[in-house]
Amino acid sequence: MRADAVSRAVLEQLRELHCLEPEQTVCCALSGGADSVCLLRCLLELRPVLGITITAVHVNHHLRGAESERDRTFCQQLCAGLGVRLAVYDVNPAARAAQEHCSEELAARECRYAAFAQVQADWIATAHTASDNLETAVHRLVRGASLHGLTAIPPKNGRFLRPLLRVTRRQVEQYLESLGQTYVTDSTNLTDAYTRNRIRHQVIPALEQLNPSVERTVSYTLRSLRREDDFLHQQAQAAYAKCHTGKNTLSGLETLHEALQFRCIAMLLEEAGISCEAPLLERLAALARQGGRWNLSGAVYAVGKSGTLTIETVQLPEPLPEAIPLQMGENRLFSGFVLHARLETVSPAENVANIHKKFANACLDYDKIKGEIFLRPRQSGDRMQLSGRGFTSALKKLIQANLPPERRRTAHVLADADGVIFAEGVGCAARVCPDGETRRLLVLEILGKC
Amino acid sequence: MRADAVSRAVLEQLRELHCLEPEQTVCCALSGGADSVCLLRCLLELRPVLGITITAVHVNHHLRGAESERDRTFCQQLCAGLGVRLAVYDVNPAARAAQEHCSEELAARECRYAAFAQVQADWIATAHTASDNLETAVHRLVRGASLHGLTAIPPKNGRFLRPLLRVTRRQVEQYLESLGQTYVTDSTNLTDAYTRNRIRHQVIPALEQLNPSVERTVSYTLRSLRREDDFLHQQAQAAYAKCHTGKNTLSGLETLHEALQFRCIAMLLEEAGISCEAPLLERLAALARQGGRWNLSGAVYAVGKSGTLTIETVQLPEPLPEAIPLQMGENRLFSGFVLHARLETVSPAENVANIHKKFANACLDYDKIKGEIFLRPRQSGDRMQLSGRGFTSALKKLIQANLPPERRRTAHVLADADGVIFAEGVGCAARVCPDGETRRLLVLEILGKC
């Protein structure tokens, strides 16, 4: 009775996808574990009803030594016994992980899907269950997700089908038991070991105590979310087509429902290759409404104004040069400006306040400067003490606090033998500030682009 | 710094709701617990910015003896100290629970909201936090929920506001600590004790190990779901207005996106007062597509045909009569039909197969019947053994298997001194079946409505 429920659920799932046609070939991705063995047996059971051809593919990851060989042999014997044609692919995720500097899990997944890509079949069926789906949904919820993310594992994605999505892990085991069908058990858990296992062993059991059929219950919820997400996606695409009035620009956002505004902004960010998180979306939606600028990363800004949102990239500066000695007169700055340096003599009667009024730009006490003055970019370890403060600060922090992101990398610094005496946007170090004793002023002016 | 984050989050939440206007009165629902004390202090902190008047209301449930009095006194002293006008309402949920045969939790909630209804204020602020919101979302997910259900606690609902929805329980405690503000602790947990506590003490800590800021993360997700649910609701309302072509009827469902079909069907069920669960929705959507009938409850059916779905109520039958002796000739049935009973003599040459061919209706061996024959409704405890089976079955089950729901209650039964010999829709008992020895047949025919 229970076993029957499994093939019925698989049949229902396949029928609702409206994609399988008679005489097509479905290739079952077979690891040898309970889920994939159940899927294979179930597809074979349904073969007469669906009129399809079943094949199988086993990917040997060679990550678990003798156990990997055991799994391959098991799959070969199982398929031989069932009269199913099996393709075996050998992959090397360990090498790929080393080469691409990624985790073995990720490399294994990539290798597996690369192998699947070579399979000659109309469809490839993978054995994701309702239990996997619940775990994925909880995982996404915990990390923060959009409606789309919460819909978890899609029953159909390209030519991949997941016919077991309405079947729980327990049902899988009952089905195999009713058939007297054995399977292998993976001694490790390749995917997302830590998080996935925590969810499986701690969160899900707690949820099952609240509702023993939580997997089935949630699978209904996920189906409903998938339908609604699909509708929203259609609506958002139509809205995007209207609002996307130029490269990196959305106009007329204020005429859309907020839900569509957010989806359109997410699509704009995706197009620009910017990762799109919930707090950022909220900020950009507010930006489009209220106007303003927001730095997205490096030289990239979002600019909002009365329902229009644009992603702008500020011109990137030239490569940074080495330090050059400051010369009186014009110094070409690598950000395309010109720094004009000159010496002024101050009469003893003038006080500091007046000096600052007179020279709107930076003024340093020339006689307090030690040795030669260099013009250079900020270096790591630069510190300076500002006037009126009893401590030195990391220059990096001062620049972050005073300069917009796109100018931080190319911020100019003047340094003498003892270190930084002046930094663009920040001002001059306390030790070279003019005072009542100052006689010679080094006046710095930044002139427009050269 | 942390404390500041709390009032900033409250201000943001209130501003985004666009509902508070200067000089309005906000009444803070004050239990004396950490959350509500935080809310009151925070609203007072923001009073100058918002230009509002703050009052408070305390509802004394009298469910925890001296502790209830302690809480009331605490609230009175707190408000007196802060210069806030406090209204105290005494309610009696214990009596209400007894009177309405419901749980004390539910009665307490009803009493509380009845008290709130008497409050003279533009808005009533309750202290639901991001932590409550996460717990509610998990609770709904586990029980099975629509997108709307998953959005959990709304930040605004009628004149109720939840300004703390972006603040976590931990932030509440830090805020109060930074103010040196005390609060009372409830020794019981009135709401959903079992489920809520399990979620709070087992599920949430496990989620927090995966993501320490899961409450804040999920609060972004819930906000996003709320926006999308709101859009879908608007679209579904517009679709419903078009499709709702008559009382209890939706037409043209096939022209709608599936997401809207489901929402419209849910609205139809709600209008008909039928509780609407995910499996039922899936079934009714399929019914509208493929055609067919589905019993919703008792005499209520859903009927689908080429994109039209109707909820129909079948005419309820007359009250059931007592048993009446069967008479040869016409017997008026309480379901409005007529049962015609007659005796036939069978020649010894005729075999059973022929008997059944000859009399299309039910035929019983009259000589096997014990004592007087009564016509009556099914009674609890009725059993019968059908021909060809070695066991008796509950008549109730046989009727359920053979009759449509609206006819089950009024199914007719013939009984002799030893019990049921014939049941409508089911057939005759094995012990009165005609056989090769049969000489007198009792032939039963049901004639059209009288």
CB contact under 8 A, B232 and A232: yes
In chain A, residues with a C-beta closer than 8 Å to the C-beta of B217 are 142-144, 278
What CA dihedral angle connects B173, B174, B177 and B181, to 10 degrees?
Answer: -50
- Which of B206, B209, B281 has the CB atom closest to A206's CB atom? B206
Domain containing residue B257: CATH number: 3.30.465.60
Specify whether A165 is located in the same domain as A193: yes
Specify whether B291 is located in the same domain as B337: no
Q: What is the mean pLDDT of chain A?
A: 89
CB contact under 8 A, B218 and A150: no
The pLDDT of residue B368 is 92
- Which of A144, A202, A218 has the CB atom closest to B221's CB atom? A144
Mean pLDDT of the region A292-301:
86
In chain B, residues with a C-beta closer than 8 Å to the C-beta of A281 are 224
In chain B, residues with a C-beta closer than 8 Å to the C-beta of A206 are 198, 202-203, 206
CB contact under 8 A, A214 and B142: yes
Beta bridge partners of A344: A441
Asked if B236 reaches chain A (Cβ–Cβ under 8 Å), the answer is no
Specify whether B31 is located in the same domain as B75: yes
Mark which of B287, B313, B339 sits at the end of a domain.
B313
Please give the residue of chain B at the shortest CA–CA distance from A207.
Answer: B142
The pLDDT of residue A352 is 57
What are the binding residues of B for ATP?
31-36
Over 80: is that where the pLDDT of A89 sits?
yes
In chain B, residues with a C-beta closer than 8 Å to the C-beta of A221 are 141, 144-146, 150, 278
Best interface-test mutation with B: which of A200, A222, A228, A281 has the largest number of B CBs within 10 A? A228
The token duo for A242 is 């209207």
Q: For A320-363, how does the pLDDT look when each residue is reduced to its tens digit (9 = 90+)?
A: 677 888 988 888 877 777 888 888 887 765 655 555 544 446 88
Mean pLDDT of the region A236-253:
94
The token duo for B52 is 């509002």
Beta bridge partners of A443: A342, A363
Specify whether A328 is located in the same domain as A306: no
Domain containing residue A385: CATH number: 3.50.40.10
The pLDDT of residue A83 is 96
How many residues appear in chain B? 450
Specify whether B273 is located in the same domain as B166: no
Q: For A371-404, how does the pLDDT look when each residue is reduced to its tens digit (9 = 90+)?
A: 889 998 888 889 999 888 888 899 999 988 888 8
Min CA distance, B43 vs chain A (Å)? 24
- Per the domain annotation, does A32 fall within a domain? yes
Asked if A181 reaches chain B (Cβ–Cβ under 8 Å), the answer is no
Best interface-test mutation with A: which of B224, B234, B289 has the largest number of A CBs within 10 A? B224
Q: For A420-431, how does the pLDDT look when each residue is reduced to its tens digit (9 = 90+)?
A: 999 988 888 989
In chain B, residues with a C-beta closer than 8 Å to the C-beta of A214 are 142
Assign residue A432 a region (left: φ > 0; alpha: ψ between -120 and 50; beta: otherwise).
alpha
In chain A, residues with a C-beta closer than 8 Å to the C-beta of B141 are 137, 141, 218, 221
Min CA distance, B137 vs chain A (Å)? 10
Averages of pLDDT over runs of 10 residues in chain B (450 residues) are: 80 92 95 96 95 96 87 96 96 88 86 92 96 94 94 95 95 95 79 74 91 94 96 97 92 96 96 91 94 87 93 74 84 79 76 51 87 88 87 90 82 90 89 86 77
CB contact under 8 A, A218 and B258: no
The pLDDT of residue A190 is 47
CB contact under 8 A, B228 and A143: no
The pLDDT of residue B66 is 87
Specify whether B92 is located in the same domain as B211: yes
The whole-angstrom separation of Cα B363 and Cα B383 is: 19
Specify whether B396 is located in the same domain as B297: no
Asked if B231 reaches chain A (Cβ–Cβ under 8 Å), the answer is yes
More confident residue, A33 or A350: A33
Q: For A180-235, how does the pLDDT look when each residue is reduced to its tens digit (9 = 90+)?
A: 999 998 776 544 567 788 899 889 999 999 999 999 999 999 999 999 999 999 99
Radius of gyration of chain A (CA): 33
- Per the domain annotation, does B55 fall within a domain? yes
Beta bridge partners of A332: A338
Mark which of A291, A313, A335 sits at the end of a domain.
A313
- Per the domain annotation, does A235 fall within a domain? no
Specify whether B194 is located in the same domain as B331: no
Min CA distance, B146 vs chain A (Å)? 6
The pLDDT of residue B244 is 95
Min CA distance, A210 vs chain B (Å)? 7
Mean pLDDT of the region A160-167:
96
Q: Tell which residue, B73, B74, B14, has the closest CA to residue B42.
A: B14
More confident residue, A402 or A267: A267
- Per the domain annotation, does B179 fall within a domain? yes
More confident residue, A275 or B83: B83
Q: Tell which residue, A254, A204, A140, has the closest CA to residue B224.
A: A140
The pLDDT of residue B144 is 92
Q: Tell which residue, A28, A148, A164, has the closest CA to residue A85.
A: A28
Specify whether B143 is located in the same domain as B292: no
Between CA A182 and CA A191, with CA A186 as vertex, the angle to 5 degrees is 135
Q: A95: annotated binding-site residue?
A: no
Over 60: is that where the pLDDT of A164 sits?
yes
The pLDDT of residue B285 is 95
The pLDDT of residue A359 is 44
Phi, psi of A266 (to 5 degrees): -60, -40
Specify whether B132 is located in the same domain as B158: yes
Please give the residue of chain B at the shortest CA–CA distance from A215.
Answer: B142
The pLDDT of residue B189 is 57
Radius of gyration of chain B (CA): 33
Asked if A202 reaches chain B (Cβ–Cβ under 8 Å), the answer is yes
Please give the residue of chain A at the shortest CA–CA distance from B262.
Answer: A224
CB contact under 8 A, A143 and B231: no
Mapping DSSP onto H, E and C, the string for chain B reads: CHHHHHHHHHHHHHHHHCCCCCCCEEEEECCCCHHHHHHHHHHHHHHHHHCCEEEEEEEECCCCCHHHHHHHHHHHHHHHHHCCEEEEEECCHHHHHHHHCCCHHHHHHHHHHHHHHCCCCCEEECCCCHHHHHHHHHHHHHHCCCHHHHCCCCCEECCEECCCCCCCHHHHHHHHHHHCCCCCCCCCCCCCHHHHHHHHHHHHHHHHHHCCCHHHHHHHHHHHHHHHHHHHHHHHHHHHHHHEEECCEECCHHHCCHHHHHHHHHHHHHHCCCCCCHHHHHHHHHHHHHCEEEEEECCEEEEEECCEEEEEECCCCCCCCCCEECCCEEEECCCCCEEEEEEEECCCCCCHHHHHHHCCCEEEEHHHCCCCCEEEECCCCCEECECCCCCCEEHHHHHHHHCCHHHHCCCEEEEECCEEEEECCCEEEHHHCCCCCCCEEEEEEEECCC
Specify whether B134 is located in the same domain as B259: no
Q: Which amino acid is at A412?
A: H
How, if at all, do strands B419-423 and B427-428 pair?
antiparallel
ipTM over 0.90: no
Query: Of all residues in chain A, what percent carry a pLDDT higher than 70?
Result: 93
Q: A35: annotated binding-site residue?
A: yes
Residue indicated by tokens 């639901």: B128
The pLDDT of residue A184 is 94
CB contact under 8 A, B281 and A224: yes
Min CA distance, B421 vs chain A (Å)? 32
Asked if A253 reaches chain B (Cβ–Cβ under 8 Å), the answer is no
Q: For A302-317, how does the pLDDT look when each residue is reduced to its tens digit (9 = 90+)?
A: 999 999 999 998 876 6
Domain containing residue B112: CATH number: 3.40.50.620
CB contact under 8 A, B230 and A278: no
Q: Report how many domains make up chain A.
A: 3
How, if at all, do strands A123-125 and A25-29 pair?
parallel
Asked if B147 reaches chain A (Cβ–Cβ under 8 Å), the answer is yes
In chain B, residues with a C-beta closer than 8 Å to the C-beta of A224 are 146-147, 262, 278, 281
- Per the domain annotation, does B241 fall within a domain? no
Specify whether B286 is located in the same domain as B160: no
Asked if A230 reaches chain B (Cβ–Cβ under 8 Å), the answer is yes
- Per the domain annotation, does A154 fall within a domain? yes
Mark which of B289, B313, B337 sits at the end of a domain.
B313
Query: Of all residues in chain A, what percent carry a pLDDT higher than 90?
Result: 59
The pLDDT of residue A183 is 96
Mean pLDDT of the region A72-78:
97
In chain B, residues with a C-beta closer than 8 Å to the C-beta of A209 are 198, 202
- Per the domain annotation, does A71 fall within a domain? yes
Contact status, residue B311 vs residue B304, Cβ threshold 8 Å: no
- Per the domain annotation, does B90 fall within a domain? yes
Parent domain of A42 = 2-225
What are the binding residues of B?
31-36
Min CA distance, A142 vs chain B (Å)? 6
